[in-house]
Structure 1
Amino acid sequence: MWNLRVPPKVKHLVWRAATECLPTKIGVLDTSDQYGSFVEWFSNEFDIWDSDKRNMGAMICWSIWRCRNELVWNQRGMEVIDVVESAKVVLNQWRCAQDNSFDHNLGLMNSTDGDEHWVCPTGETIKVNSDAAIFETSNCFSYAFVARDAEGRLIEARSRCCPGQVNPEDAEAMGIREVLSWIKEQGREAVTVETDCIVAVQAIRSDCLLLSYFGRIIQECKKLLVDLKEKRVTIKFVKRSANHIAHYLAKLSSSIADLIWRVSDFPPEFSHVLANDLI
């Protein structure tokens, strides 16, 4: 179990469950259940699962525990499909963060994905970077985007802070939706949208219909892309290091109301962050 390719917190959770160290009441099992305890069930399945199923099995156990805590302490329930989707999202994001050599063979990825540094677009193309941030202590979240031209000059930057709790991937998808809406409203053409949320990129490129809140936002993004199909709009995944400016702005919006910055009115400290991308 300790060799599973999952986050350490997941291994720790499974170990605590297997050694009966989790702070829960002892449940009464159905007399038709062939397993008497979690460790008996997990050990049996572990022996017959391949490596991918072992990793996902552990992740789903962690996601169920997380869902249980949300219900007990915050009175927030989750649908089964959202529990499974959350496990997939966390695993994908953790693996991506751990892997310095991005694997272009990863599902629905291509050779243009995985940039580690921001690169100016070419010709008449503009580039829009999008990111999101979660602020648990203030019970809110934000998303932001920054649009720049082929010289790296700011076209427009926007951020929005919203009350409530959402999953990180939901906030990321909202940010992408905001970018696509902006492109449509502005009548922009030849736009590259960059995000460091690999799950959102995979979901947008996939033909699968996700029956979850995240899935509904993705469907709205897909519809906007259909509306923009003649405008040469593309979405790609980049590493966090290539998405620094949008990350900076999303984090900043926890202390600043919704904002719109253009080339004539953005603050001096923001110009330094913009300049760093060109070094």
Structure 2
Amino acid sequence: MAKQVGARTLISPTHIGSRTWIMPLDNILKCNVDAAVIDRFPHIGYGCVLRDSNGIVIAATHGILQGNFNSTVNEALSIREALGWLKSLDYSHIIVESDALLIMEALNKSANHAAHVLAREAVSMSGILGRVTLHSLLL
């Protein structure tokens, strides 16, 4: 259901599989990131989909990384790949959304201040700070 404020629609969900995808505001892009593993293979698969405020796919990428760690590390590596990809696209005002609650909290909050500072510095050094907002699907 769309949330109306005056004549403007602020949130308009789109059903994708069993989840509801919430569109970002106008002039903001949203990148959904996820990791996948198959236990018998030592690889991590990741996928990233970038959509505009109308839900239209602007770009997408996927890849395979060597190694298979715990789910938190796998998701963190996928988010790192997404940030690098987004940097190469040179867009601004991007929300990165993931179901990796621990990673998103560490990047957005200072509950674990040392990890937060390091994560923000890594993002800053990548040249993408200020263009990306990180969101968790589980908040």
Q: Shared topology, TM-score over 0.5?
A: yes
Paired letter, 2:98: T
Point out 4+ residue stretches in structure 1 off by more than 6 angstroms: none
Q: Which residue is 2:15 aligned to?
A: none
Query: Are the structure 2 counterparts of residues 169 and 181 from structure 1 closer, same or farther at C-alpha, using a change threshold of 3 Å?
Result: same
SS at match of 1:122: coil
Q: Which residue is 1:202 aligned to?
A: 105
For each residue in 1:219-273, what CA deviation from the matched residue of structure 2 results, as whole angstroms up to 9, or x when unmatched? 4564224633343x2101114xxxxxxxxxxxxxxxxxxxxxxxxxxxxxxxxxx
SS at match of 1:209: helix
**Which among 167, 171, 186 is matched to residue 70 of structure 2?**
167
Q: 5 Å matches for 1:97-112?
A: none
Residues in 2 aligned to 1:229 and 1:164: alpha-carbon distance in whole angstroms: 27
1:180 matches 2:86: no
| Greater helix fraction, Structure 1 or Structure 2 | 1
For each residue in 1:47-84, what CA deviation from the matched residue of structure 2 results, as whole angstroms up to 9, or x when unmatched? xxxxxxxxxxxxxxxxxxxxxxxxxxxxxxxxxxxxxx
Q: What is the RMSD of the two structures over their aligned residues, measured on CA atoms?
A: 2.3
Segments of 5+ residues of structure 2 without an aligned counterpart are 1-18
Residues in 2 aligned to 1:199 and 1:151: alpha-carbon distance in whole angstroms: 28
1:147 matches 2:50: yes
1:235 matches 2:138: no
Normalising by structure 2, report the TM-score. 0.72
**How many residues end up aligned between the 2 structures?**
117
- The higher radius of gyration belongs to 1
1:125 matches 2:37: no
Q: 5 Å matches for 1:47-58?
A: none
Paired letter, 2:30: K
Query: Are the structure 2 counterparts of residues 117 and 223 from structure 1 closer, same or farther at C-alpha, using a change threshold of 3 Å?
Result: same
For each residue in 1:153-212, what CA deviation from the matched residue of structure 2 results, as whole angstroms up to 9, or x when unmatched? 1111111112322111111111111222222222111111100111001211335335xx
Segments of 5+ residues of structure 1 without an aligned counterpart are 1-115, 240-279
On the 8 A contact 2:26/2:53 being kept in 1, the answer is yes
Query: Are the structure 2 counterparts of residues 170 and 209 from structure 1 closer, same or farther at C-alpha, using a change threshold of 3 Å?
Result: same
On the 8 A contact 2:95/2:134 being kept in 1, the answer is yes
1:223 matches 2:100: no
On the 8 A contact 1:127/1:147 being kept in 2, the answer is yes
Query: Are the structure 2 counterparts of residues 196 and 230 from structure 1 closer, same or farther at C-alpha, using a change threshold of 3 Å?
Result: closer
Residues in 2 aligned to 1:225 and 1:132: alpha-carbon distance in whole angstroms: 23
SS at match of 1:179: helix
1:138 matches 2:41: yes
| Greater strand fraction, Structure 1 or Structure 2 | 2
Identical counterparts, % of pairs: 26
Higher mean alpha-carbon deviation, 188-197 vs 176-185, is at: 176-185
